[in-house]
């Protein structure tokens, strides 16, 4: 299908399950859940803030590869493994988006994520051109 483009996971050492990190269909980009792996495949060291920063760094890289940026994100789903991180997530999240570009968002606290050390995962939908 010519109107669908799939973005493969980077081959940089990070472990990825069988998926596309993003899929573009016409004028919409769907980004898979991004966890806090550093580009060398290691888990972001430190606390929630360090993991959030790594997720956002990866998200920026995926968006750039797809020819877009954070200002085009229209919807996010944020998965947290600890309810006590909601306040910190809100603070970091607000700072991660330029003023006037906050997307719609769903935040869920879940029992676990596929990698037990993950404190969060973020997926998003992006409006293109």
Q: What is the pLDDT of residues 10-67, one digit of tens each?
A: 766 666 778 889 999 999 999 999 999 887 888 887 799 999 999 999 999 999 999 9
Query: Do 124 and 50 touch, CB atoms closer than 8 A?
Result: no
Q: Residues of 19-48 as b/e, b for ≥16 C-beta within 10 angstroms?
A: ebbbbbeeeebebbbbbbbbeeeebbeeeb
Cite the DSSP H helix spans in 3-129.
48-65, 86-96
More confident residue, 114 or 89: 89
Is residue 3 over pLDDT 80?
yes
Full-prediction pTM beyond 0.85? Answer: yes
Does domain 4-9+18-127 match CATH 3.30.1330.40? yes
How large is the average pLDDT for residues 69-81? Answer: 98
DSSP 8-state secondary structure symbol assigned to residue 85: G
Cα 6 from Cα 66, distance rounded (Å): 10
How large is the average pLDDT for residues 74-80? Answer: 98
Q: Which range is least confidently modeled, 2-16, 35-49, 100-114?
A: 2-16
pLDDT in the model for residue 44: 86
Query: Do 77 and 105 touch, CB atoms closer than 8 A?
Result: yes
């Amino acid at each position: 299908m010519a109107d669908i483009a799939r973005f493969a996971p980077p081959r940089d050492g990070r472990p990825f399950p069988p998926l596309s990190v993003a899929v573009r269909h016409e004028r919409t980009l769907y980004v898979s859940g991004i966890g806090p792996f550093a580009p060398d495949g290691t888990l972001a060291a430190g606390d929630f803030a360090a993991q959030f920063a790594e997720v956002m760094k990866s998200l920026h890289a995926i968006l750039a590869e797809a020819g877009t940026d954070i200002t085009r994100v229209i919807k996010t789903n944020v998965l947290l493994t600890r309810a006590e991180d909601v306040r910190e997530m809100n603070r970091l999240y607000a700072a991660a988006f330029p003023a006037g570009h906050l997307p719609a968002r769903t935040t869920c606290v879940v029992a676990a994520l596929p990698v037990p050390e993950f404190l969060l995962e973020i997926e998003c939908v992006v409006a293109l051109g």
